[in-house]
């Protein structure tokens, strides 16, 4: 059976070109997906080589990236590419959405147009981040709920555990609580309450506290905190990677021998740079919805969209949301 | 007049060797300082070349780095090197303390043994961090108060502004609020309240919100948040720098040409590595005390201690605490 992916072609920094090229790469890479690009048909056609598994649906207007009132933005732009793509999942025309539009608008739109799964009281946004060992970890909640109750963090950890198992192929994924120290008892009241709940939940493989000193070599595959903290962690990783890139460029070009060394290292340095680029950070799934919604980085190039589309199809194929529902239903009964 | 610095020679990873060597380097570098090393005289003498401006005071016992109850640790170890060094500032035998002992014990000890300045309701710990442009910024509060009221953040910003001006030589230093977005209105209630108070304080040069995406190239010289968040930022910078160092090592040694490039780049790479090493992160001053207390990184080598000692002497020489007191007195009147 074909998996149908809706792609919001108008969000992000390079729309719609990179979305279109990403869609073309994705249909070439996997056979069982069909893509509908939502956006300006004229602009899309400039980049699209016709393909029998890529369709285009015309939209009107866009959601401004700097929109201050995301709920209003969605409500007053029902014909925008983002809103139409989301609605097509609600109506079951499509199985999943990929968008690189404004995060808060996408979360608000997903709530309104896709709907929340009944077992999860709060959504979460969960990017998959690279580690220094060439593996991955799930960071959540990277910004859906700035403040949160620990019981909702437990639900999110269940979701992430299913995701890590089904999509990342990690058996018994460990959950680590982001904290300022590794010992039990560290942190704010929220962190201590969450620690207790994780520790006492027999269906969560709880590792304990994880200091962000270990953020690129984490002892757990899932790192969790409130939406403010995890977003700060994500952006600090990004900022440090960028700043270190600048420093490396400055230092590597010093001296004649150094310049020669730099020349010979260009290929290796490029690979190094790619490991922490936005492309290497996978699409972030919004947890807690009735449908599959993946947020691609705003700066994504075609490879980023290709990956996000494949990711979305994997989540549909593995039936992740239903499996999470089953886990949470069992929790409720217990 | 001589500036007298008490050095806790027993804290940190390489005690007392690196403290002793750092003290020797510091007295060589500046003429107007006199150092007293607190610690085990026998161990200290193994590394100390006698110097007329370096004294040794015997201490007993140490504060355990993993101590869970820092207040009790201090109260029951009054003869420890950390406690004796702190007490010597209260009794005015010394003008400042440098310690690389356990942070929470040092903060607790400073409260008990040095005392809080009456104008500041909360202390803060403020490391000076490197930027990609070879400049510095002050990060606070990096862990003294995990939760805090915005009015105390304003007092800390005043302290940091005086410090930046007097010690870092920055005229009109800008204060940025660490947040998940740059627009006004972003973040938690705390962040919004703090934003309002900073904006309306005419003695603070408020830049606005700063996202940690810009953390190594910040648009402000002072970045402030609550103690939990700023500590998470500091540790995420450290973790990302470490992880990227690992990745760089992995990638740079790929292929024969790459290996040659690496060989020719060794000197430049070493300089790059040093820019984000613990040594390059200056000692962190504890703001809000009656005396000067500088926390050096636990992993500091002699150069780290030398820098922290010089930093302490600068704070004394520039009379920073009195100047902060004057600013806060004026605030109170206004």
What is the per-residue pLDDT across A85-103, written as a single tens digit (0 to 9) for each? 999 999 999 999 999 998 8
Residues A125 and A224: their CA atoms lie apart, in Å, by 11
Strand partners, B129: B137
* B-chain residues near A251 (CB < 8 A): 268-269, 271-272, 275
Q: Do B214 and A68 touch (CB under 8 A)?
A: no
Q: Do A251 and B269 touch (CB under 8 A)?
A: yes
Residues B313 and B29: their CA atoms lie apart, in Å, by 12
Question: How close does chain B come to A112, measured CA to CA in Å?
Answer: 21
Going through chain B in order, the beta strands assigned E by DSSP cover: 3-8, 33-39, 54-58, 96-99, 124-126, 128-130, 136-140, 175-178, 206-210, 222-224, 284-287, 292-295
Q: How many CB pairs under 8 A join A and B?
A: 205
Q: A127-277 has which CATH code?
A: 3.40.718.10
Residues B210 and B174: their CA atoms lie apart, in Å, by 11
* B-chain residues near A209 (CB < 8 A): none
- Pick from B143, B140, B146, B78: which is nearest to B113 by CA? B78
Q: Do A251 and B262 touch (CB under 8 A)?
A: no
Residues B60 and B75: their CA atoms lie apart, in Å, by 13
Residue B65 pLDDT: 66
**Reduced to 3 states, what is the DSSP secondary structure of residue B132?**
coil
Residues A176 and A224: their CA atoms lie apart, in Å, by 6
Q: What does the block give as tokens for B9?
A: 């020679």
Yes or no: say if B69 and B41 are a contact pair by the CB < 8 Å rule.
Answer: no
Question: How close does chain B come to A261, measured CA to CA in Å?
Answer: 4
Candidate from B188, B211, B261 with C-beta closest to A265: B261
Residues A168 and B192: their CA atoms lie apart, in Å, by 38
Q: Do B215 and A232 touch (CB under 8 A)?
A: no
Q: Which helix (H) or strand (E) holds A284?
A: strand A284-287
Helix A256-275 / helix A227-252 crossing angle, nearest 10 deg: 160
Contacts for B270 with CB less than 8 Å, ≥ 6 apart = none
Candidates 3.40.30.10, 3.30.450.20, 3.40.50.620, 3.40.718.10; CATH matching B126-282? 3.40.718.10
pLDDT tens-place values along chain B, 334 residues long: 899 999 999 988 889 999 999 999 999 999 999 999 999 999 999 999 999 999 999 999 888 766 678 888 888 889 999 999 999 999 999 999 999 998 889 999 999 999 999 999 999 999 999 999 999 999 999 988 998 999 999 999 999 999 999 999 999 999 999 999 999 999 999 999 999 999 999 999 999 999 999 999 999 999 999 999 999 999 999 999 999 999 999 999 999 999 999 999 999 999 888 888 767 776 899 999 999 999 998 888 999 999 999 999 999 999 999 999 999 999 888 7
Q: Does A79 touch chain B (CB under 8 A)?
A: no
Q: Do A229 and B229 touch (CB under 8 A)?
A: yes
- CB-facing half-sphere around the CA of A76: CA atoms within 13 A: 8
Candidate from A213, A235, A266 with C-beta closest to B235: A213
Q: Per-residue pLDDT averaged across A71-76, rounded?
A: 85
Return residues 1-60 of B near A (CB < 8 Å).
none
Does domain A1-120+288-322 bear CATH number 3.40.718.10? yes
Residues B301 and B295: their CA atoms lie apart, in Å, by 14
Mean per-residue pLDDT of chain A: 93
Residue A66 pLDDT: 66
* A-chain residues near B132 (CB < 8 A): 242-244, 246-247, 250
Residue B29 pLDDT: 96
* B-chain residues near A262 (CB < 8 A): 261, 265, 268
Residue A87 pLDDT: 97
* DSSP string covering B27-60: HHH-TTEEEEEEE-HHHHHTTPPP-TTEEEEE--
Residue A71 pLDDT: 85
Q: Which helix (H) or strand (E) holds A5?
A: strand A3-8
Q: Does A244 touch chain B (CB under 8 A)?
A: yes
Give this complex's ipTM.
0.93
* A-chain residues near B187 (CB < 8 A): 146, 228
Q: Per-residue pLDDT averaged across A108-129, rounded?
A: 94
Q: What does the block give as tokens for B214?
A: 């810009």
Residue A297 pLDDT: 86
Residues B158 and B108: their CA atoms lie apart, in Å, by 22
Separation in Å, CA A270 to CA A239, A262, A273, B248, B252: 18, 11, 5, 10, 10
Question: How close does chain B come to A57, measured CA to CA in Å?
Answer: 32
pLDDT above 80 (res A65): no
Q: Do A252 and B241 touch (CB under 8 A)?
A: no
- Pick from B241, B319, B303, B311: which is nearest to B283 by CA? B311
Strand partners, B126: B285
Residue B67 pLDDT: 66
Which residue has tokens 């809000």? B288
Which residue has tokens 């605490």? B321
**Reduced to 3 states, what is the DSSP secondary structure of residue B93?**
coil
pLDDT in tens, A137-196: 999 999 889 989 999 999 999 999 999 999 999 999 999 999 999 999 999 999 999 999
pLDDT in tens, A200-253: 999 999 999 999 999 999 999 999 999 999 999 999 999 999 999 999 999 999
* B-chain residues near A250 (CB < 8 A): 132
Q: What does the block give as tokens for B240?
A: 């990302």
Q: What does the block give as tokens for A77?
A: 């732009």
- Name the DSSP letter for residue B283: P
Q: Do A261 and B258 touch (CB under 8 A)?
A: no
pTM of the model: 0.94
Residues A13 and A1: their CA atoms lie apart, in Å, by 33
Q: What ranges do the domains of chain B cover?
A: 1-120+288-319, 126-282
Helix B227-252 / helix A227-252 crossing angle, nearest 10 deg: 40
Q: B1-120+288-319 has which CATH code?
A: 3.40.718.10
Strand partners, B284: B295
Yes or no: say if A236 and B236 are a contact pair by the CB < 8 Å rule.
Answer: yes
Q: Does A223 touch chain B (CB under 8 A)?
A: no
Q: Do B240 and A216 touch (CB under 8 A)?
A: yes
- Given this chain, do its domains B1-120+288-319 and B126-282 carry the same CATH topology? yes
CA angle A168, A173, A176 (to 5 degrees): 120
- CB-facing half-sphere around the CA of B326: CA atoms within 13 A: 7
Separation in Å, CA B89 to CA A209, A218, B60, B74, B93: 36, 41, 18, 16, 6
Torsion over CA of B161, A186, B275 and B265, rounded to 10 degrees? -160
* DSSP string covering A69-101: -HHHHHHT-TTSHHHHHHHHHHTTS-SEEEE-S
């Amino acid at each position: 059976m074909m998996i149908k992916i809706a792609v919001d072609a108008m969000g992000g920094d390079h729309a719609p070109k990179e979305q279109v090229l990403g869609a073309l790469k994705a249909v070439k890479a996997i056979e069982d997906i069909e893509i509908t690009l939502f956006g300006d048909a004229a602009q899309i056609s400039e980049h699209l080589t016709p393909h029998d598994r890529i369709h285009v649906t015309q939209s009107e207007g866009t959601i401004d990236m700097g929109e201050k009132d995301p709920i209003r933005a969605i409500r007053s732009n029902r014909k925008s590419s983002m809103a139409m793509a989301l609605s097509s999942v609600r109506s079951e025309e499509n199985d999943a959405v990929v968008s690189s539009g404004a995060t808060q608008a996408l979360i608000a739109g997903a709530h309104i147009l896709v709907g929340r799964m009944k077992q999860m009281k709060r959504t979460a946004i969960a990017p998959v981040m690279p580690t220094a060992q060439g593996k991955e970890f799930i960071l959540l909640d990277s910004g859906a709920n700035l403040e949160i109750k620990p019981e909702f963090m437990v639900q999110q950890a269940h979701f992430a555990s299913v995701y890590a198992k089904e999509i990342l192929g990690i058996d018994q994924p460990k959950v680590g609580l982001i904290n300022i120290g590794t010992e039990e008892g560290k942190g704010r009241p929220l962190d201590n309450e969450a620690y207790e709940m994780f520790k006492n939940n027999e269906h969560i493989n709880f590792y304990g506290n994880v200091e962000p000193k270990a953020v690129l070599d984490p002892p757990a595959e899932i790192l969790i905190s409130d939406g403010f903290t995890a977003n700060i962690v994500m952006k600090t990783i990004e900022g440090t990677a960028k700043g270190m890139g600048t420093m490396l460029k400055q230092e590597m070009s010093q001296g004649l021998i150094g310049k020669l060394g730099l020349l010979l290292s260009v290929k290796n340095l490029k690979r190094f740079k790619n490991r922490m680029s936005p492309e290497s950070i996978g699409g972030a799934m919004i947890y807690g919805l009735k449908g599959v919604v993946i947020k691609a980085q705003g700066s994504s190039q075609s490879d980023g969209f290709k990956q996000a589309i494949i990711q979305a199809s994997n989540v549909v194929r593995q039936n992740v949301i239903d499996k999470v529902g089953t886990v949470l239903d069992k929790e409720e009964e217990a």
